[in-house]
Amino acid sequence: MAKLVVEGEAPDGRATISALIGCSYKIGTNGDLSLTNEFEFTMEPVYRASRTKEGRIRPSLLVRDFDCWSWKEQTDLVIQGSARFSAEHTEKRLRMSCAGNRTQLEQEIALTGDRRVERRGGTHVLSDPVPFSELPISWERAYGGTDELAEARYGDSELREIVSKQFDDFERAAWSEFSYPRNPAGRGYLVRPDGLEGLVWPNLEYPDQRLTLDSVVKPLENWGERPIPACWDWSPGIFFPRIASIGSFPPTANGESPEPEVSWGLLPKNLPSEHVLTYPVHRYAQGAHPTLSRSRLIGDERIEVNAMGLSGGPLVVQLNGQCPIVSMELWDGSAFELQTVFDLVHIEGDSMEVRVVWRGTAVGVSPHRPVDWMERSKVDVRWAKLSDAVTEV
């Protein structure tokens, strides 16, 4: 178990003090968890090793996001790993469920072997899928990417130069006005028909969001009507809608937020026309896929994915139904018990590990504190059943 004290601000502007409690576990038989001493808070995002194509990093994806958020509105559920099967298939379904006393989440991803667009008899068709027995559940394999031919022919070099001065190396190399805002790392995104022949098709799709040859090309400003990328991995900070919460919003055809993000309650409909100071900046802390950061888990959930176990069986995680009771004593001798919430469940299927972060927060504390107040404050933790703990902020 690791402890960390951070300060911040609640959505209503009141000052906060939060104690973060991080735990790491190994996944055992039937999803039971055994505590390890390996948890360390990440002080900055950790990116995967990148591959370079024509000077651009492809992709800038996350191994782990920044852990030390002082406030999250919902719980992030992140699942990393690969789907595995005992035999080769051209198509399969991957099913995930997360169920507890207050939670019922289900998702399904359609898996298809590698395909690309070919020309046969004067028309464009999809090639037959290549059989697979293992497939990474990664943003690279989901719908998205960059229309690189359109960028080369029609891109604004001056705009790219301006943007290059605003982002760090990873983000600058991945950014393009011709990238799909929801997933610049994926495949299948086109804004001009010139690049259709040879286009690599996505392997991961939501069953009700399948890409078709009739719908693959759309104007740049109609990106909000495109399929939602199917993935359960970390959502990097430059991906939409995460980046929109801090004021960066690609133009849309109607000047409004896309309907899916509005219906999920992530963004207000009129956000592009709002003043940047009214943006929902606290949503930026949500690092999970947008569909997996919309509810508050409580720590008793059973999470199961049917084919992400090491041998091709189900990946199962049974959270232990306990909650930390967090007490804090400040530098001035004042002491109080913090309300606690469950901020993160991060499952690594390939290493059979789980990381969780609980947060105890005091709201409305004085923002005037001595410089060394964190060092002079103490945090005590004891564990209790969820029924004995206060778990709402």
**What is the CB-side half-sphere exposure of residue 351 using CA atoms within 13 A?**
12
The answer to whether 207 touches 220, Cβ cutoff 8 Å, is no
Amino acid identity of residue 353, one-letter, is E
pLDDT at 153: 84
In this predicted model, what pLDDT tens digit does every residue of 348-375 receive, in sequence order? 999 999 999 999 999 988 778 888 988 8
Maximum mean pLDDT: which of 247-251, 263-267, 356-360: 356-360
Report which listed range, 155-169, 196-210, 373-387, is most confident.
196-210
Collapsing DSSP states into helix, strand and coil, what is residue 164? helix
Q: Which candidate, 326, 288, 327, places its Cα nearest to that of 76?
A: 288
Please name the helix (run of DSSP H) or strand (run of DSSP E) that holds residue 148, with its range, or none: helix 148-154
The distance in angstroms from the start CA to the end CA of the chain is 22
pLDDT band at 306 (very low <50, low <70, confident <90, very high): very high
User: What does the pLDDT read at residue 58?
Assistant: 60
pLDDT at residue 57, rounded to an integer: 46
Residue with token string 């009129």: 270
pLDDT band, residue 248 (cuts 50/70/90): confident
**Cα separation of 38 and 106, whole Å?**
30
| 292-296, 297-301, 385-389: the lowest-pLDDT one | 385-389
What backbone torsions phi and psi does residue 304 show, to the nearest 5 degrees?
-140, 135
Are the C-beta atoms of 11 and 282 separated by less than 8 Å? yes
Question: Which residues on neighbouring strands pair with residue 98, listed in sequence order?
Answer: 105, 303
CA–CA dist 58, 62 (Å, integer): 12
Give the pLDDT confidence of 7-26 residue by residue, as tens digits. 999 999 999 999 999 999 99
**Total residues belonging to the chain:** 393
Task: Tell whether the model's pLDDT for residue 289 goes beyond 90.
Answer: yes
User: CA separation (Å) from 186 to 14, 61, 173, 228, 236?
Assistant: 39, 11, 15, 11, 13
- Of 196, 258, 41, nearest to 249 by C-alpha is 258
Burial of 338 (0-12, 13-18, 19+ CB in 10 A): buried
pLDDT tens-digit series, residues 29-39: 899 999 998 89
Report the relative pairing of strands 33-36 and 56-58 from DSSP bridges: unpaired
The pLDDT-based confidence of 48 (bands split at 50, 70, 90) is confident
Produce one character per residue of 244-282: b if its CB has 16 or more CB atoms within 10 Å, e if not: bbeebbbebeeebbbebbbeeebbbeebbeeeeeebbeb
CA 377 to chain centroid, in Å, comes to 32
pLDDT confidence of residue 10 = 93
CB atoms within 10 A of CB 314: 12
The pLDDT-based confidence of 393 (bands split at 50, 70, 90) is very low
